[in-house]
Chains A and B, each alone.
Chain A
Amino acid sequence: MLTLPNERGRFGMFGGKFVPETLMRPLADIERQLHEALADPSFHAEYMHHLYEYSGRPTALTFAKNLTERLGGAKMYFKREDLNHTGAHKINNAIGQALLAKRMGKRKIIAETGAGQHGVAAATVAARFGMECKVFMGEEDVKRQALNVFRMKLLGAQVIPVTSGNRTLKDATNEAIRYWVEHCDDHFYMIGSVVGPHPYPMMVREFQRIIGEEAREQMLKVEGKLPNTIIACVGGGSNAIGMFHPFLEDDVECIGVEAAGKGVHTTEHAATITKGTKGVIHGSLTYVLQDEHGQITEPYSISAGLDYPGVGPEHAYLAHIGRVRYESVTDEEAIAAVQMTAETEGIIPAIESAHALAKAFQIAPLRPKNETILVCLSGRGDKDVQTVMNYLEGDEPR
């Protein structure tokens, strides 16, 4: 399980490289350089240096004492990725890929973004490492996330509004890939999640596994044992893979939480593993939300970061073999979890992370007090305050 993907970029049947011929060689170049980099202690040292000295790692492990007492069951711990520079786990991956781009002699970065979190992380590292950065963002998201658009511009990035399709993350990713096809000779495509063609799902996992590695050490130090259950939200699934991967060979229950939007019985959700079927999206064979003719359908979630019709192929595999259980949480449950976490622990989580929290709050009372639940609190909620306000005041988010 830990040795995957294989040399063809497959996790079981999932993954692969379903891309135009033009990209096959650029992908092979990245793969070769990535393997060299990962085997090079100086690369790892530089990566860790930036994580500690620039992003503020290690991130805290917080015992959610008040929530634990209130729910009266298992002890809950939060891995605080919200305390990272730029406010989410996205920076871990952005730093890793920027260092790889630098190593490959590429100084021009392309990124896609939905809500803008990965776009901001990419723009941030580009500024830090003296690189040019173009961020593709659906026109609809540009309108919804004006503040993040301005943050990216302030960081010196160029934000390119995408007008194809439904003008959201899926279309931004399509356009970023198209741009990359045209400029693959001197641009590096920095994908924000564990999606895309091989070696991206593996690469992004390797740059996110620091979450789980740190949390594992911290749990052992604080509790003297591994957690019984780990919970993380899954859109593309990078924080979840980063959290789960170092625990996959242990006797630890892993739960990935997808966005049920207005309910998985409606058409307005983003629960790709729960409701999707096998298909190809953005270069990878995985579970996909699609119609019976193989056309990708538009997902929905109040959380822009989970609003994606595909999912990382490694998650598809972990679901298929039953190692990780995937469940879903609605907009309503997620917003309630934002409020409860804010009121009880003084932490405003991102709505994405609140999906994982909501699931933890459902499970904790059912588990004995000597058990522990570790939740990946992947990002902070400042960006979502307006959305939460609109929701609570009864305005539809879309």
Chain B
Amino acid sequence: MKHFIPFIVAGDPSEDVTMDLAIALEKAGATILELGVPYSDPLADGPIIQRAASRALNNGMTLTKALELIGRMRKKGVKIPIIVFTYYNPVLQLGEERFFALAQQNGASGVLIPDLPFEESEYMRTLGDAYKIPYISLVAPTSHERIAMIASQAQSFLYCVSSLGVTGIRDSLPAELHEFLKQVKLYSRVPVVVGFGISTAEQVDRLQHVCDGIVIGSAIVQKIEQLQDELNDVRTRPNALIAFSQYVVSLIEPLKRVGKNESQTTTEPTKTVSTGQTD
């Protein structure tokens, strides 16, 4: 089966709910979890994830707490790889080494920093190697001749930004996307996943044939936003989690269909991304 990589923000709408959402996502078929660390100035994010970040920051979420939350997820039995998605500044303030040490201790499986492009990321990649935490690289539709350079250093999987712009829900994806993904696949030794703007089962269905996995962020975060009151109330939370899971399952239904009918063409997640479990 292809990778399904949901994105949620740590602490949105609360730490406890984030934990329950992670468990629900694994059950619903997530093969990798992307855990967003909230940031005051998220340059690569659209309004939905900006609002989620604000909610999480208002709840007191920090980079350190987000890493510790991964540790708690591991203790609760979440087995899939968890990628830390964070902007660079919080990492810089925590200290790069300390960041990797905490990521390793808590069972994180990779790190993705959207505002740290290839040219600025050498030190982080070196540290990632030392701590055995893969540094995930991104390529964008504007990357062109940069694709080969970035792909040559890619670890775990290569994240393709589907279209120009920030994260969000898009009605349509660019016509050139398939060509772009094909081109990236030519250069990549690791699975190629695509994200930004993907928000419907129909889009998932069309894209799955040209990539190894799909990242869905804003659509899932928007669902959490819609359900936040029910999720926050422990009495209504179980039902809200069921509604959430049903929504997620409906989004990725096309992936499961293929998983059953086609032979596996992609690399197993466990071979490329360690689950990073400490126990």
The interface of chain A, by Cβ under 8 A from chain B, is 8, 16-26, 164-165, 170, 174, 177-178, 181-185, 277-283, 288, 290, 292-296
Contacts and interface: CB of A to CB of B under 8 A. Distances in A.
A295 B116 contact: no
Interface in B140-173: 140-144, 146, 150, 161, 164-166
A8, A17, A174, A293, most chain B CB atoms within 10 A: A293
Contacts of A294: 39, 63, 89-94
Nearest to A177: B43
Contact of A181 (B40, B57, B143, B164): B164
Contacts of B143: 21, 24-25
B118 interface: yes
B279 interface: no
B15 to A, nearest CB: 15
B40 A296 contact: yes
Nearest first, the 7 closest Cβ-Cβ pairs linking A and B are A294-B93, A294-B90, A182-B165, A22-B140, A295-B40, A293-B62, A294-B89
Nearest to B138: A21
Contacts of A282: 41, 43
Interface stretch (B28-36, B44-52, B178-186, B217-225): B44-52
Size class of the B contact interface (CB-based, 8 Å): 35 or more
B164 A184 contact: yes
B120 interface: yes
B254 interface: no
B88 interface: yes
A290 B93 contact: yes
Given A24-B143, A277-B93, A281-B41, 7 more contacts: A18-B116, A19-B115, A20-B140, A21-B161, A22-B142, A280-B92, A294-B63
B116 A164 contact: no
A176 to B, nearest CB: 10
A164 B52 CA distance: 12
Main secondary structure of the interface of A (DSSP, over half): mixed
A20 B44 contact: yes
Contact of B43 (A19, A25, A184, A295): A19
Contacts of A279: 89, 92-93
B269 interface: no
Contacts of B19: none
Given A24-B142, A181-B166, A278 B92 contact: yes
A288 B89 contact: yes
Contacts of B238: none
Contacts of B116: 18
Contacts of A22: 140-142, 161, 164-165
A280 B115 contact: yes
Nearest to A279: B89
Contacts of B94: 293-294
Nearest to A297: B40
Contacts of B63: 293-294
Nearest to B142: A25
Interface string B41-75: 10110110010000001000011100000000000
A290 B91 CA distance: 13
A280 B93 CA distance: 10
A26 to B, nearest CB: 7
A295 B115 contact: no
Contacts of B39: 294-295
Contacts of A278: 92
Nearest to B38: A295
Contacts of B41: 165, 170, 174, 281-282, 296
Given A24-B143, A181-B165, A183-B164, A17 B90 contact: no
A277 B119 CA distance: 23
Contacts of A295: 39-40, 57, 89-90
B146 A165 contact: no
Given A24-B142, A26-B142, A165-B40, A293 B93 contact: yes
Contacts of B118: 21, 24
A174 B142 contact: no
B164 A178 contact: no
Contact of B144 (A17, A25, A283): A25
A22 B120 CA distance: 14
A182 B40 contact: no
A174 B54 CA distance: 15
> Which residue, B119, B120, B139, has most C-beta atoms of chain A within 10 A?
B120
A8 B43 CA distance: 21
Contacts of B164: 22, 181-185
Contacts of B144: 25
Interface centre among B142, B144, B146 (most CB of A within 10 A): B142
Interface string B96-119: 000000000000000000111111
B111 to A, nearest CB: 15
B152 to A, nearest CB: 15
Nearest to B64: A293
A67 to B, nearest CB: 41
B90 A20 contact: no
Given A21-B138, A293-B62, A164 B93 contact: no
B93 A292 contact: yes
B92 A20 contact: no
Contacts of A292: 93
